[in-house]
Amino acid sequence: MTHVLVTGGAGYIGSVLTGLLLERGYEVTVLDRMFFGDTLADLRNNQKLHVIQDDIRWCPDSVFKGIDAVCDLAALSNDPAGELNPEKTLEINHEGRARICRIAKQAGVRRYVLASSCSIYGFQDDVVDETSAINPLTTYAVANRRAEESTLGLASKNYTVTAVRQATVYGPSRRMRFDLAINGMTLALHKQGSVKILRDGTQWRPMVHIRDTSRAFITVLEADPAAVNGEIFNVGSDDQNLQVQPLAQRLCHALDMPYVEDWYGDPDHRSYQVSFKKIGERLGYATCETPEIGAREIFAALRKGSLTDGPTTRTVEWYKSLMQWHRTLKDVVQRDVVL
């Protein structure tokens, strides 16, 4: 396998995955609407990178010409963005990705990996694994479940389909997101020297570094088809099921900042912890990074100015702005110009 199509390849995870695939010698085609701008600028001179600005809902079949494998990451990528317009969320995150999986198969692509999420488990009392009943509580989670069903149902002898349920991701990226727990806390420490914790901080959440989750896609792409075809894998590590308050303390310690107790929101003990044994046992996958490493990387980049807290770093606010501009521009543009 040499040529991988990455949908959402200009996004937070996709742009890091694209960089890692190129480093590994793959030819990569990114298919992305570029909602967050041209995040791949530093990779553009790589001859093995091709970028197609198009939508997974209506791109032509020709995008799959010469493609061996697809990593399907394009989506409205969190719960609040998913609630902006639930119909659009299902259209993109479920039907759009099911479409990509279907037309890739028709075009003769051999492998497909769906970017799903551990949020599909909702809140649960026990530690959940891939065989546990799921509890999708939001439109985003429902769309992920439907996308899993639609794509895994297309697995066949010649078409290897796998879904990866990623933990909450952290770490720096070409398209930075500060709406993710560890990234947001690190930004707060950089800006204010303190961090506020949602609720009382006792809730458990699984976390994974962005390079580790990107490596999981590559592990699946390179695995024996018999080990991954039709399968779901949780992506993360058992020791990164973390409670929010101790996590905040760890980040303060790693960044040499004092920990000041401060929280917002009502106490809420809804939690979930996830088992990551399957991907370790079946594919020999293990994470390499830690929250401390991720926080230090982000903190250093903020200090250096190579990462900034711009408007595109908060997913739902950015989509809201785009929609507002669209309405405004429709009213003022004439002859394709504003002025």
Ligand X SMILES: NC(=O)c1ccc[n+]([C@@H]2O[C@H](COP(=O)([O-])OP(=O)(O)OC[C@H]3O[C@@H](n4cnc5c(N)ncnc54)[C@H](O)[C@@H]3O)[C@@H](O)[C@H]2O)c1
Residues in touch with ligand X (CB under 6 A): 7-8, 10-14, 32-36, 55-57, 73-75, 77, 92, 96, 115, 117, 166, 168-169, 175, 177, 180, 315
- Of 168 and 245, CB closest to ligand X: 168
Distance in Å, CB of 30 to ligand X, minimum: 9
- Of 117 and 275, CB closest to ligand X: 117
Distance in Å, CB of 335 to ligand X, minimum: 28
As to burial, measured by CB atoms within 10 angstroms (0-12 exposed, 13-18 middle, 19+ buried), residue 187 is: buried
Q: How far apart, in whole angstroms, are the C-alpha atoms of residue 295 and residue 313?
A: 16
Q: Which residue number places its CB atom closest to ligand X?
A: 11
Q: How far apart, in whole angstroms, are the C-alpha atoms of residue 40 and residue 224?
A: 31
* DSSP 3-state of 45: coil
Radius of gyration of the chain, Cα coordinates, nearest whole angstrom = 20
84: left (phi over 0), alpha (psi -120 to 50) or beta: alpha
- Of 36 and 112, CB closest to ligand X: 36
- Which H/E stretch holds residue 115? strand 111-117
- Of 56 and 187, CB closest to ligand X: 56
Distance in Å, CB of 169 to ligand X, minimum: 3
Nearest by Cα to 15 from 147, 170, 176, 169? 176
- Of 260 and 288, CB closest to ligand X: 288
Residue-wise over 79-115: b if at least 16 C-beta within 10 A, else e?
bbbbeeeeebbbbbbbbbbbbbbebbbeeebebbbbb
Distance in Å, CB of 147 to ligand X, minimum: 9
Distance in Å, CB of 258 to ligand X, minimum: 28
Distance in Å, CB of 59 to ligand X, minimum: 8
312: left (phi over 0), alpha (psi -120 to 50) or beta: alpha
- Which H/E stretch holds residue 186? helix 181-192
- Of 38 and 262, CB closest to ligand X: 38
Distance in Å, CB of 158 to ligand X, minimum: 25
- Of 124 and 194, CB closest to ligand X: 124
Nearest by Cα to 119 from 55, 207, 201? 207
- Of 156 and 306, CB closest to ligand X: 306
Residue whose token pair is 């037309």: 103
Distance in Å, CB of 277 to ligand X, minimum: 19
Joined together, the tokens standing for residue 88 give 């659009």
Q: Cβ(104)–Cβ(70) under 8 Å?
A: yes
